[in-house]
Amino acid sequence: MPEVIRGQRLKLADLTPALQLELAVQLQGPAPAYDVSVMGLDQAGKLSDDRYMVFYNQPRSPEGAVQLQGNAAGETRFAVDLSRLPGTVPRLMITASVEGSTFGQLGSGTLLLRSGGQELARFRVAGQDFGTERAVILGELYFRDGWRFSAVGQGFAGGLDALVKAYGGEVSAPAPRPQPPTPAPPPPPPSRVDVSRPAAATAPTSRVSLSKVTLEKQGQTASISLSKTGGVQPVRVNLNWERNTVAPRRGLLGLLGGGSAEADLDLGCMYRLKDGQAGVVQALGNRFGAQHAPPYIHLDKDDRSGSAQDGENLVVQRPDLIDQVLVFAYIYEGTSTFSSVQGRLNIQDVQGNEIFMRLNNPDPRHTFCAIALFRNVGGRIEVSKEERYFQGHPDCDRHYGFGFQWTAGRKS
- pLDDT tens-digit series, residues 159-213: 787 888 888 876 654 434 444 444 444 444 443 555 544 333 333 332 333 357 8
Task: State the DSSP H helix or E strand holding residue 409, giving kind and residue range, or none if neither.
Answer: none
More confident residue, 242 or 136: 136
Q: Which amino acid is at 14?
A: D
**With contact defined as beta carbons under 8 Å apart, do 267 and 327 qualify?**
yes
The phi-psi region of residue 115 (left if phi > 0; otherwise alpha if psi is between -120 and 50; otherwise beta) is beta
Ranges of CATH 2.60.60.30 domains, the chain: 3-207, 225-400
Question: Quick one: which of 315, 279, 312 has its CA closest to 297?
Answer: 315
pLDDT the model gives residue 224:
87
Q: Which overall architecture, per CATH, does domain 3-207 show?
A: Sandwich (2.60)
Find the mean pLDDT for residues 344-363: 88
Is residue 377 pLDDT above 50, yes or no?
A: yes
Cα dihedral sign for 61, 62, 65, 67? positive
- For residue 389, pLDDT over 90 is answered with yes
55-86 pLDDT tens trace? 888 899 999 999 999 777 789 999 999 999 99
Mean pLDDT confidence for 223-247: 77
State how far the alpha carbon of 185 is from the alpha carbons of 15, 54, 77, 86, in Å.
31, 13, 18, 18
Q: How confident is the model at residue 262 (pLDDT cuts 50, 70, 90)?
A: low
∠ CA 128-140-90, rounded to 5°: 160
- Global pTM reads 0.52
Q: What is the dihedral sign for C-alpha 10, 26, 139, 114?
A: positive
Q: What is the CATH number of domain 225-400?
A: 2.60.60.30
Poorest-pLDDT segment among 173-187, 237-251, 254-268, 368-382: 173-187
What is the pLDDT, as a whole number, of residue 408? 74
Residue 105 has pLDDT above 50, yes or no: yes
Helix, strand or coil for residue 281?
A: strand
The CA–CA distances, whole Å, from 393 to 139, 249, 318, 369, 396 equal 25, 21, 24, 9, 5
Q: What is the pLDDT of residue 12?
A: 94
Task: Name the residue type at position 282.
Answer: Q
